[in-house]
Amino acid sequence: MLENIKVLYKEEELQQRIAELAKQMDEDYHGKPVTVVSILKGAVFFTVDLVTKMKTPIELEVMQVSSYEGSESTGKIKVKKDLDNSIEGKDVLIVEDIIDTGYTLKYLKEYLQTKHPNSLKIAVLADKAERRKVPVEIDYTGFVIPNKFVIGYGFDYNEIGRNLPYIGYIEM
């Protein structure tokens, strides 16, 4: 399977776009601390590269949610790991690897709103907009991508391929 990957975004393109997003976030948060909620496992690569490029002070939280089995979304959201600390009264940034149907991020946004943050924004590395089933407002988007199954830079196929330094796709 991994030998059939076609490159969509090279490592240099990813890093350049992430630097642009970090700069925009620094401007938007004006140096105020932000709690970054990285969504495991896929967003880890994006989160690390993003926050190391930001000048804004950050507090890091992780959550693990899932709606995927293999290459398809089940539509059922499962929280596998919740926040460790309160986000009440804090500026919060959800960092996710991809949005396609929107179900997971809609659920996450609604769930985290119940914890009373001061503000809640969403950053996604990849937006597969043509697959959207429910509307979700995204504050920061790395790339709008075609409806292809992506792999690499955090994206996986049955847990394989996350460590590729680029984003590629597999014809399914």
Q: What is the token pair recorded at 37?
A: 């909620």
The pLDDT of residue 151 = 95
Percent of the chain with pLDDT over 90: 82
Q: Which residue has the tokens 């994006």?
A: 46
* Cα–Cα distance for residue pair 24/54, rounded to 1 Å: 9
Q: What is the pTM of this model?
A: 0.92
Per annotation, catalytic residue among 100, 127, 139, 156: 100
Does residue 91 have an active-site annotation? Answer: no
Task: Give per-residue pLDDT as tens, 92-130.
Answer: 999 999 999 899 999 999 999 999 999 999 999 999 999
Domain residue limits, the chain? 11-145
Q: What is the mean pLDDT of residues 140-161?
A: 94
The pLDDT of residue 155 = 94
Q: Which residue has the tokens 């776009």?
A: 17
Q: Smallest Cα–Cα separation from 139: which of 60, 48, 57, 27?
A: 27
pLDDT over 70 at 56, yes or no: yes
Q: Rounding to the nearest 10 degrees, give the CA dihedral for residues 53, 59, 79, 2.
A: 20
Q: What is the mean pLDDT of residues 32-41?
A: 96
pLDDT greater at residue 65 or residue 16: 16
CATH architecture entry for 11-145 = 3-Layer(aba) Sandwich (3.40)
Q: What is the token pair recorded at 79?
A: 């929280």
* Cα–Cα distance for residue pair 27/45, rounded to 1 Å: 22
